[in-house]
Copies of this chain bind each other. A is one copy, B any other.
Amino acid sequence: MRESELVERLVAIGWRGSRSVILGPGDDAAVLRGGLVLSTDLAVEGVHFRLDWISAEEAGFRAGAAALSDLAAMGATPEGMLVSLAVPGDGSVAADIQRGIRSAGDRVAASIIGGDVSRSPGPVVVDVVVAGRARPPVRRSGAVAGHEVWVSGALGGSAAALEAWSAGARPDALARARFAQPPDRVPLGTALASARIARSMIDTSDGLVADARRIAAASGVRIRIVEGRVPAHPGTGGDLNLALQGGEDYELMFTAPARAEDRILAIAREVSVPLTRIGTVEEGTGVVLEDAQGRRTTPGPGGFDHFADPGSGRAP
């Protein structure tokens, strides 16, 4: 079973609708009455990270930053985090992980307000739940044909580090830093939301193409990405495929009307995050890539799959 099929099956089992829920499963986060935004992010040792690649504190930072990235993608301001830890041995590694998560929370002034801890007879498991507030939350479903597609920062660095580790090599320092320290895009997300500029938004956790496909599906549109415009992270060594399909960059992709360009670039300066216009929203379905000659291709499935055969994918 692919991860995406399994997720669909779990949503079908678990979701029954509710009057207290404004937005249920299927976006970056759920929304309760009062604009309360909730999301959870699981990190499993040996699947999402390895402790011979990064320290326990870095693993915690990464898990915390990844969870907070979902709030950024909703345009929500974080209010608190809950942390559940399953750890082997006497539990001492838990303190290092907690310290890392706390550091990620410090960037956005979110404390750890609760949690649970258990012995694990297996790997370290970290589950970080984030709660924030958004008025209004930005969904994946608001992309409109004719609008433009933007992405923050640079892509593929995290995947480049994983590729090196998987090949038994030492990753480029910038790529490693990108994997261990996902960026904080909360100031960008909240600015784009409160100015009502971003009409749809998602964080690039599974790869630009896979996440663009989600915007396309949720909005009933096609996303056209101009390959030459995609900002590749320096750690990729110019490998465009890493930038297009590599996951866990935790940048924001959003769509906005063309007339918003000046305001978008002003926000980019204000929050000191580079923003790049990488394509357009069209009528249609799915994602198309356009090369320098204007030739269009439909990218393959790609993206991270944590249930894929560990030897076959890019995921660790």
**A80-B32 CB under 8 A given contacts A1-B90, A10-B94, A86-B125:** yes
**A80-B18 CB under 8 A given contacts A114-B40, A116-B41:** yes
Identify whether the interface residues of A are mostly helix, strand, loop, or mixed. Answer: mixed
Residues of A within 8 A of B (CB): 1, 3, 6-7, 9-11, 13-18, 20-21, 24-25, 29-30, 32-34, 36, 38-48, 79-86, 90-92, 94-95, 98-99, 101-102, 105-106, 109-123, 125, 127, 129, 131, 133, 306-307
List residues of chain B with CB within 8 A of the CB of A92: 1
A149 to B6, CA, bound (A): 46
Q: A40-B82, A121-B122 are in contact. List 7 more A-B contacts (CB 8 A).
A: A14-B105, A16-B111, A25-B112, A46-B121, A47-B120, A118-B306, A120-B122
B131/A36 in contact, CB under 8 A: yes
Task: For residue A135, give the distance in angstroms from its CB to the closest CB of chain B.
Answer: 12
- Work out how many copies of this chain go into the complex: 2
Task: For residue A296, give the distance in angstroms from its CB to the closest CB of chain B.
Answer: 34
B110/A42 in contact, CB under 8 A: no
A81 to B40, CA, bound (A): 10
B123/A42 in contact, CB under 8 A: no
List residues of chain B with CB within 8 A of the CB of A38: 80, 82, 113-114, 129, 131
List residues of chain B with CB within 8 A of the CB of A17: 111
List residues of chain B with CB within 8 A of the CB of A40: 82-84, 114-116, 127, 129
Task: Select A306's contact among B33, B83, B119, beta carbons within 8 Å.
Answer: B119
Q: List 10 A-B contacts (CB under 8 A).
A: A1-B91, A3-B91, A13-B98, A14-B115, A15-B111, A20-B80, A21-B79, A38-B80, A42-B117, A44-B120
